[in-house]
Amino acid sequence: MLILVPTPIGNLEDITYRAIRLLNEVDGILAEDTRQTAKLLKHYEISKPVAAFHQHNEHKALARVIERLKNGETLAMVSDAGTPGISDPGFLLVRECLLNDIKVETLPGATAFVPALVNSGLPCDRFVFEGFLPHKKGRQTKFKILAQEERTIILYESPHRLVKTLGQLIEFFEEDREVCVSRELTKIYEENRRGKCSEVLKHYEEHPPKGEIVLIVAGRS
């Protein structure tokens, strides 16, 4: 069996008792970054063999992992932070497991966009999750499509591209479109900055951001 285990997005306390128990019980752990996972395992005194499984090696490692699962091993998969498969490795392995009649179990747990959405103050009864936008090819087309979206929009963004993205939101949407930038969620320097896109852009032009970012954008009214 394959078990997808969400891990903390910052604060190490944000993990379930069940996740800790299962990480102690599995035969091995597949990790996006073995060094990052080692810190979590050390914190909870978990000693299990860890193998790398990430976007750069997942196609090559896939057959080997499926063979282990067919031979009766139970493996856990974790990403650096949050739920595997959400803008992280996981989908390819889950699909292959299902094609091979291997049981897949996914635990509930930490993911960055849910607290960011609820905390934004923007409507969260209907929303669309876009993850990371294309860097180049198809980026403008994506903005044009999202400009017509009436549901609240959720984006993941890196700190060095946030200002560019906010500027393009003004270009393709409107400068008074409401947004919320959630930065470093669950960590010491957590920040949630809400307001019109032009106001939030001005702030981050003057105060370059750091850390992981979730950008929530109001839908078209």
pLDDT tens-digit readout, 53-96 = 998 888 899 999 999 999 999 999 999 999 999 988 899 999 99
Q: What is the pLDDT of residue 75?
A: 98
Q: What is the pLDDT of residue 221?
A: 87
Residue 31 has pLDDT above 90, yes or no: yes
CB-based contacts of 28, cutoff 8 Å, min separation 6: 48, 49, 50, 51, 68, 73, 75, 76
Report d(CA 48, CA 178) in Å as an integer: 46
Which pairs from 97-103 meet CB under 8 Å and 24+ separation?
A: 97/2, 97/66, 97/69, 100/66, 100/69, 100/70, 102/1, 102/2, 102/66, 102/69, 102/70, 103/1, 103/2
Domains of the chain listed by start with CATH number: 2-106 (3.40.1010.10), 113-217 (3.30.950.10)
Residue 43 has pLDDT above 90, yes or no: yes
Q: What is the pLDDT of residue 94?
A: 97
Q: Mind listing the pLDDT tens digit for each residue in 163-174?
A: 999 999 999 998
Average pLDDT, rounded, for the chain: 96
Residue 103 has pLDDT above 90, yes or no: yes
Q: What is the pLDDT of residue 108?
A: 96
**What three-state secondary structure class fits 116?**
helix
Q: If we measure between CA atoms, which residue out of 92, 84, 72, 111 comes closest to residue 3?
A: 84
By CB atoms closer than 10 A (0-12, 13-18, 19+), residue 135 is exposed
Q: What is the pLDDT of residue 18?
A: 98
70-102 burial: b if 16+ Cβ within 10 Å, else e: eeeebbbbbbbbbbbbbbbbbeebbebbeeeeb
Residue 177 has pLDDT above 90, yes or no: yes
Residue 127 has pLDDT above 90, yes or no: yes
Range 126-137 average pLDDT: 94
Q: What is the pLDDT of residue 174?
A: 84
Q: What is the pLDDT of residue 56?
A: 87
